[in-house]
Amino acid sequence: MTRRIFRSILCVSAAVLLASLVITLGVLYGYINVQQKNELRDETMYLAPGVVERGAEYLLQLEDTGKRITLIDRDGTVLYDNEADSQEMENHLQREEVQEALASGEGMASRHSDSLSEPTMYYARLLDNGQILRLSGSEYRMMTVFANLLYPMCAVSLLMILLAAFFAMRASEKIVEPINRLDVEDVKEGDVYEEIAPLVQKIGHQKETITNQVLEAQRQQREFEDMKEQMRREFTANVSHELKTPLTSISGFAEIIKNGFVKPEDIPGFAGKIFEESQRLIVLVNDIIKISQLDEGGIPYDKEEIDIYEMAEEVLDRLEEPAKKRNINLQLLGEHVKIRGVRLILDEVIYNLCDNAVKYNRDNGSVIVRVRRDRRGIQLVVADTGIGISKEHQERVFERFYRVDKSHSKAIGGTGLGLSIVKHGAAFLGAAVNLDSRPDEGTVITLTWKAA
């Protein structure tokens, strides 16, 4: 801040000084120019009576005046010139200063002299005898005087800039000193400039706001930690329960067979139940592993371009058989659109969405899958005509092992992890999940990949 103030003061000082120098030089140049004009006029008027009385002879007797003297007849013929041969000079009738003298009695002009090859100022005066007396002086002399004054003025200006830099530094330090002394931890408005008092007041309010926000963040962090711990305990309890149930069934059926309490003809039935429970256990363990991998981001597959429409078509083909058993109509609508992601994860997400839409549907119902692209991005929509989800359950259906109807879920073989896999898989793929459901009407779940 000190440097910025210093630069501002120095730049303003230098600009004012430069402007003053330019104005002074301009005034000085104008003054020298006027002085030269007056000098030419005075000398011409001094010589005029002698020329009228004696003509060119009077001019021949003059000593060197430092000026060029020319006597011109009324028709423009050069009668005399002290620096050139008048006989060889061209007619001067059309010269600007001569024309002005003939018209108004005197004339003034500045131009480059062809005879002397230098910029020259001319003054011409109409004499009483009708002749024109013209005096001229080189503008180099005026420029020399101007240049002689320019160097000292530039030196003085440079000195003044150095002094301005010194005082600008001192002034900037003085200006910033009260701000540097300001204690941010204990802001007192009386210790600062009146102009920045509102800023200091705002800093105080912001400090208070930030303190409150930090306290609120700490409180929320504690609540989050408590919630996380509660979820961990619930997850542990749910995992233990879900794993224990099929294991208990398998162990019980195996023990009955081992102890010979089963008739030989009933053994295949018990073996089938053991197989069903073991398959359920395998599915449950696989789902838990998938969610853990999604949580940790440890998916051992590379990303690739995937056609969502084609993958949805493959998933519906796999679900065609269970859908036919309940006369559920499967439809795929939309267009071929691609995203970049992991094929296995997208397959799991689409499969779980469609599988739930079939499992929790009504007989003779329908499942419609739409794939589309619009200004918002790419959307995958899975809509069913199933039993729906009430409002109080909608926020929790994506939790692990959460079931709206535990008895119905058990009857259809659900693990309670399907929508949790959808949620975590969608997040991994960069998609947002939206749920819209009404009891006894159906459910619509939309995955949206925002447009880049």
pLDDT of residue 137: 84
- Higher pLDDT, residue 116 or 91: 91
- Higher pLDDT, residue 130 or 263: 130
Q: Provide the b/e sequence for 15-45 (b: ≥16 CB within 10 Å).
A: eebeeebeeeeeeebeebeeebeebbeebbe
List pLDDT tens digits, range 331-386.
999 999 999 988 888 888 998 899 989 998 999 999 999 999 988 899 999 999 98
- Higher pLDDT, residue 168 or 69: 69
Written in H, E and C, the secondary structure of 322-340 is HHHHCCCEEEEEECCCEEE
pLDDT above 70 covers a percentage of the chain that reads 79
Query: pLDDT-based confidence at 408, cuts 50/70/90?
Result: very low
Residue 207 and residue 184 in contact, taking contact as beta carbons nearer than 8 Å: yes
- Higher pLDDT, residue 21 or 114: 21
Q: In terms of Cα–Cα distance, which of 303, 290, 284 is closest to 425? A: 290
What's the pTM value of the predicted model, to 2 decimals? 0.45
Q: In terms of Cα–Cα distance, which of 423, 281, 284 is closest to 345? A: 423
